[in-house]
A and B are shown apart, each in its own frame.
Chain A
Amino acid sequence: MSKHDHNHHCRTRTFWSRRDFLFQSGGGIAGIALADLLNRQGLLAAAQSDTCEAPIPGNPFAPQPSHFEPRAKAVISLFMAGGVSHVDSFDYKPALQDYAGQPLAESVVVRQGHPGPLMPSPFEFQRHGESGMYVSEIFPHMAKKVDEVAFIKSLYGRSNDHVQATYEMQTGQIRMGFPSVGSWVTYGLGSESSSLPAYVVMADPRGTPKGGPPIWSAGFMPAMYQGTLFRSAGDPIVDLQPPVGMTEVQQRGRLDALASLNQMDIAQNPGNSELAALISSYELAYRMQGCAPEAIDISAESEATKKLYGLDDPLTEPFGRQCLMARRLVERGVRFVQLFSGGQGADWDAHSNLDENHRVRAAEMDLPVAGLLTDLKSRGMLDSTLVTWHGEFGRMPISQRGVGRDHNPGAMTGWMAGAGVQGGQEIGASDDFGYKAVEQRISPHDLHATMLHLLGMDHTQLTYRYNGRDMRLTDVHGTLIPQIVA
């Protein structure tokens, strides 16, 4: 992974130098004792650096050792909000054609009442790649990637409400208040970056998915592990830059004064080790002001790269930009990047017109996602990056209002690529209609266990002590998917 070619883009900003430090603290006994104290906590070493990448001692996100040799260092999670239909994307069901118009079963109950009859996919399916995977016509670019992708066709969840199902995919629980998988990964591994948040979320520009920020919350963990919402235009983070009217020199002056006064305070309070961490947080903040805008500034990318992500087409531009930003963030050491395709009002929730809805949604993300895989591979990053793709549930094989499909947590298809995962394979299966996952049923816990494994963590060992119990992302469940971890 090329991690050093962007340093010169990043504004050089450091909080202290060692010399300044001694100078500002007035030299003398107090100053030297203070320098010694901070040095023991490793703080002064930070002062030597002038890039976005030098570690900041005391940084709570300093990289943590994994349990065993990891396959991947970072995750890019692509979440199709609203519930992408498996039987219209990657889970081909010819039986829907054969039995079109017939009832599925007498006991079917669907979320919005009144089950319709079986409805064939409005889309053509063809085999693709050496592996001969079936892909729907609405994913022509992903179709060229099937040999690099492992399809999981037997995912299932427990809720057919969007928000609870999304919580389950994110946290393993259908209730509010639990840490998301990105939080767990960040908690377990820290971050390779000392100038960017460890867990970055980018919502669809049309809005956050249903459920909002609790979807990437840290639940009962400290808030520092929650996802940081990045916007794809302007300042990526709220309050990143000083308000209009404050110059950089003024800010610098204020920070210098703050540093001096805080140093005097540390000298007065020898017992409080948190104070150094607080000072560190200012160093990180200051660096983030320069480094975060640089990380998402795609102007330096080549035209070919921009085209690869579809930035030349207004339909693919929004998601393409986010995919490209995701690559840049991972390149700079961000641990977990999560993108949502679909926000409130324009998501994959095709109750009333599946054909139109899925055609447009797919066209928005198909080329960018394929471009992301291509780009990661050509930069040698794919082997160390896990890319996941899924929604919060699949959709029903029967029709709703004649042309739509209702929610179906009984079966969905997701995929994984990168991280050395064997592509061109399908894992598990749903029944002949795609109503239920039946072969090698895979729960969100299993998915999470497998993700953690690829990152070098044993899901039974990654625990957070809360309320007297060693909590796990996978609770008391979770089975590794053997075909993925093989």
Chain B
Amino acid sequence: MAFVIVRNALVIAGVHVACFALPVGAGAQTVTFTDHIRPIMERSCWNCHGEAAQLSNLDLRTRESAMEGGTRGPAIVPGQAEDSRFYRAVAGLDDPLMPMGGNPLTETEIASVRAWINDGAHWDAAGVTTAADALSALESSELPPGARDYWAFRLPEQGPVPTSETYEHPVDRFLDSARRDAGISEAPRADRLTLLRRAYLDLTGLPPTLAQTDEFLADTERGAWERLIDRLLDSPQYGVRWGRHWLDVARYADSTGFEMDYRRANAWRYRDYVINAFNQDKPYNQFLREQIAGDELDHTTDETRIATGFLRAGPRVNYREKDTPDRRYDYLDDVLATLGRGVLGMTVHCARCHDHKFDPILQKDYYSLQASIFGYVEIDWPLLDRVELAEYRAANAKVDSLQQPLEEKVAAIEGPYRERLQLEMIRERFPENVLRAVMKPEEERTAGDRLLVTQVLSVNPPRDALRAALTSDDRDMVEALNAQIAALEAERPPEPAMAEIVTDGDYRFAPDGPGDNVIGCPECRILPEEPGTFLHEEGWPAYETPPNYLLISGDPQSPGSQMSPGFLTVATNGDPPTVIPRPDGRTSGRRLALAEWITSRDNPLTARVIVNRIWHHHLGRGIVRTLDNLGTMGDAPTHPELLDWLAVEFMDRGWSIKEMHRLLMTSEAYRMTASYDDDASSAVDPENQLLWRYRPQRLEAEVLRDSIMASSEALDLTLSGPPVFPFIPERILASQKNGVWDNQPDGPAVWRRSAYVYRRRALSYPFFETFDLPDQNQTAGARNVSSVATQALTLLNNESVLRQAELFAERLAALAPGDLARQVDLAYRIALTRSPRPEEAQVARALVTDQSLEALTHILFNLNEFRYMR
């Protein structure tokens, strides 16, 4: 190992109490794991409680797993053989006698086990557990025979498109063939207004305006539908809608989560990047390359670097990270889980601790992938060109260098005062035992005293007290120095625009972050043997990725062999490079190689996963229903040949997502009505798997909010920029101390599209949460759809909903003053893109007469019809 991990003793240490004598040893000879215990384990235990099987959920390969034990409880209690099931079972003290069905242990062996446990059950001299056989089995593990035959691992191919008497469109010909096989007949085409509304909600997340409706109705020429789709794809609101789908995949949020829930002040630049990418129809393979390796491309730009925000969009603690180095493995896992489920449709993260239980994903694949991203560090990147950046850094450094001697002078003056105040504070704040220990000369202190002395290290007098303590001369000098420091500070260049990006570096040399320098735990830190730097600079020798290891059972303290970068074995065809060296040597080229593998036509997964997602959003359910799992535990595709045909078509059409919209939306399948029932079809296919009618979709939280504001015409369609903070009642905010919510009154400033609302991990915007916002901490598949009372309460009683109802009513009154019939008609045409049927108009008019126009607009927001795309 190239570096030493000082283990957090809290987590692993057995009870080793210096003042508490434990019985040690079975005699003169010390029992060791390697010499005495491992041979017993290998012969008698690991067959059933090791790599091959963990009967009773018991795994005896590591100290940790033995201490954790199985269904019968912990197997080993270090220091206490009599209380350890492992000992009791092999010694015949408890039933059943172990090893079950094998030769019992000899008396000597039983005594060794006893002595070894009583001595603390140390696994190895190095403190690192490697059951050598288990490890080598893991490291040489191979794919099960036939693994590559599973449909998702075969490269997609376009088979012949089925013939159809009814349809020309290839998508319909595939669907028609499956329906004919099942004897099912399909719904007719929906009417033009239904289709118009469907297309608008689907592509832009907004209902059509009156003018947009008129425009479409006026176009009665052939090709009007295609022209509508083109118009919508040209609208920047398209990117706001479809970018949001991707932000679900990217588990995007504007805060870090966990206790501190810090604001990620520049995260929104990645959100804007995504929305722009959809609007530009950035080819999907390029989109992925930029997000995975935007800092490593042949031509990197600020845009491609911002794209790497994808990798770091997940939850992070960002507090006392240096004292908790193991968290890095969770962050790496977050990235791999996102790439796995989000991009590859594979639960790669399931192989973190063992070979995947259901899919042919090896644990070593996981750690090869981990090696591909292991150089990863998260940094703030100034959005300056090279010259500007150099100037900025130089100006900053100059201020620093001028301030430093002044600060030293201040410290020298304040030093004696500080010490005196510290002592006073200690007297005030600490109990007698601590004071006594502090006062004792060092050589007289007991071991306990020495610990007590450390308790006062973090006492720091407040600035005011320090200032008050200074003599007037010293105070004058300090103030003069501070004035000079402040004057210099004014010369510091303004902080440039920053982006939150990822690039290669050495995490072991990361600068201290929040919490690291306050109450540090230096013992917890990783101490590299070699000196190094966090970031690699231009012109240095080529960057080298820090080593990573296969971790036995996923435990950072149980490293196996060092890993080389690599990919999913089962989904790798040919011999793609795992490193693409960069001419500037600034990064490793590993992530670039990973991105190239993912976006290669030889990758069987990537194109299938994205076309399935696109299909899901257009047609209500994926061809594979589990969008993020194409593995054996996911759902089988309802139309496998169609999925493959689409995947190839997608790649052939330049990985263009807009082309896929055009392709799918021009099918008859997309244009079927949802208002259709047929007893025979219902009986054969009650879940509509074969798509014999359109599947209505509940509006997502964002679309619902935006549609409400679009109806009232209050919605501000401005694109991009820092997030907004719609009003949240103070009583909700007040209960949450940490985290940012720059609360704004309900008004035009926050009536922006929902994609621009601040996403706070520890406190979701209540409206979104109520309407099934997915968890923002994991890559999301299909959103949940629920129908609960809190949704009804929100739409009935929430003041901002009622405010929009009021604005909508004002709008109607202005459009048709004094004309109730016309107001009702307009209300329907604006909110639901159709005129009311006579019986509906009757109810609506009665409500307005009884109450108000606002009562009607309020109820429209609550209608089932309003809440669906159908």
Give chain A's interface residues, CB within 8 Å of chain B.
26, 60, 95, 99, 101-118, 158, 160-164, 175-177, 197, 203, 207-208, 210-214, 217, 219-224, 226, 228, 231, 237-243, 250-251, 253-255, 257-258, 260-262, 264-266, 268-272, 274-275, 277-282, 284-286, 288-289, 343-345, 398-403, 408-410, 431-433, 435-436, 438-441, 443, 467-469, 476-477, 479
* Separation of A108 and B9 alpha carbons in the complex (Å): 6
* Separation of A344 and B733 alpha carbons in the complex (Å): 13
25 contacts between A and B (CB under 8 A): A60-B786, A105-B15, A109-B8, A114-B455, A163-B259, A175-B330, A176-B315, A176-B777, A223-B788, A224-B788, A226-B769, A231-B731, A243-B797, A253-B847, A257-B843, A258-B859, A278-B864, A280-B787, A281-B789, A344-B736, A435-B15, A436-B14, A441-B73, A468-B358, A479-B72
Chain B, Cβ-Cβ closest to A401: B455
- Cβ contacts under 8 Å, B682 to chain A: 271
- Cβ contacts under 8 Å, B736 to chain A: 207-208, 212, 344
Q: Decide: A162 and B9 in contact? CB cutoff 8 A.
A: no
- Cβ contacts under 8 Å, B434 to chain A: 401-402
Asked whether any CB of chain A lies closer than 8 Å to the CB of B158, the reply is: no
Q: Which of A163, A270, A285 contacts B792 (CB 8 A)?
A: A285
Q: Which of A26, A285, A408, A433 contacts B789 (CB 8 A)?
A: A285
Q: Which 5 A-B pairs have the closest CB atoms?
A: A468-B633, A468-B629, A285-B792, A117-B448, A402-B434
Asked whether any CB of chain A lies closer than 8 Å to the CB of B862, the reply is: yes
Residue with the highest number of chain B CB atoms closer than 10 Å, among A103, A223, A284:
A223
Q: Decide: A476 and B347 in contact? CB cutoff 8 A.
A: no
Q: Which of B77, B324, B519, B674 contacts A271 (CB 8 A)?
A: B674
* Separation of A281 and B772 alpha carbons in the complex (Å): 14
* Separation of A122 and B69 alpha carbons in the complex (Å): 35
Q: Decide: A223 and B347 in contact? CB cutoff 8 A.
A: no
How many interface residues does B have (CB within 8 Å)? 132
Q: Decide: B855 and A254 in contact? CB cutoff 8 A.
A: yes
- Cβ contacts under 8 Å, B77 to chain A: 438-439, 441
Q: Decide: B8 and A469 in contact? CB cutoff 8 A.
A: no
Asked whether any CB of chain A lies closer than 8 Å to the CB of B19, the reply is: yes
What's the minimum C-beta distance from B776 to chain A, rounded to whole angstroms? 8
Q: Which of B458, B766, B791, B859 contacts A254 (CB 8 A)?
A: B859
* Separation of A164 and B777 alpha carbons in the complex (Å): 14
* Separation of A268 and B864 alpha carbons in the complex (Å): 12
Q: Decide: A117 and B451 in contact? CB cutoff 8 A.
A: yes
Q: Which of A176, A250, A289 contacts B761 (CB 8 A)?
A: A176
Known contacts A208-B736, A285-B792; A409 and B10 CB within 8 A of each other = yes
What's the minimum C-beta distance from A464 to chain B, rounded to whole angstroms? 11
The dominant DSSP class at the A interface is loop
What's the minimum C-beta distance from A432 to chain B, rounded to whole angstroms? 7
Known contacts A109-B524, A238-B732, A402-B431; A269 and B802 CB within 8 A of each other = no
Known contacts A163-B259, A203-B735, A401-B455; A279 and B777 CB within 8 A of each other = no
Asked whether any CB of chain A lies closer than 8 Å to the CB of B483, the reply is: no
Asked whether any CB of chain A lies closer than 8 Å to the CB of B851, the reply is: yes
* Separation of A255 and B846 alpha carbons in the complex (Å): 13
Known contacts A254-B858, A477-B57; A274 and B785 CB within 8 A of each other = yes
Q: Decide: B786 and A224 in contact? CB cutoff 8 A.
A: yes
- Cβ contacts under 8 Å, A281 to chain B: 787-789, 791-792
Chain B, Cβ-Cβ closest to A61: B788
Known contacts A104-B18, A402-B434, A479-B73; A60 and B788 CB within 8 A of each other = yes
What's the minimum C-beta distance from B570 to chain A, rounded to whole angstroms? 16
Q: A177-B777, A253-B855, A266-B864 are in contact. List 9 more A-B contacts (CB 8 A).
A: A105-B17, A106-B18, A177-B778, A208-B736, A223-B772, A223-B788, A228-B790, A408-B10, A479-B70
Known contacts A223-B770, A250-B855, A288-B789; A240 and B797 CB within 8 A of each other = yes
Q: Decide: A113 and B633 in contact? CB cutoff 8 A.
A: no
* Separation of A438 and B292 alpha carbons in the complex (Å): 46
- Cβ contacts under 8 Å, B847 to chain A: 253-254, 257
Chain B, Cβ-Cβ closest to A228: B790
Known contacts A285-B792, A400-B455; A105 and B799 CB within 8 A of each other = no
Q: Decide: A441 and B859 in contact? CB cutoff 8 A.
A: no
What's the minimum C-beta distance from B346 to chain A, rounded to whole angstroms? 10
Q: Decide: B448 and A285 in contact? CB cutoff 8 A.
A: no
- 0 or 1 for each of B827-870: is its CB under 8 Å from A? (1 = yes): 00000000001011001101100110001101100111101001
What's the minimum C-beta distance from A113 to chain B, rounded to whole angstroms? 5
- Cβ contacts under 8 Å, B381 to chain A: none
What's the minimum C-beta distance from A261 to chain B, rounded to whole angstroms? 6
Q: Decide: A402 and B430 in contact? CB cutoff 8 A.
A: yes
Q: Decide: A211 and B521 in contact? CB cutoff 8 A.
A: no
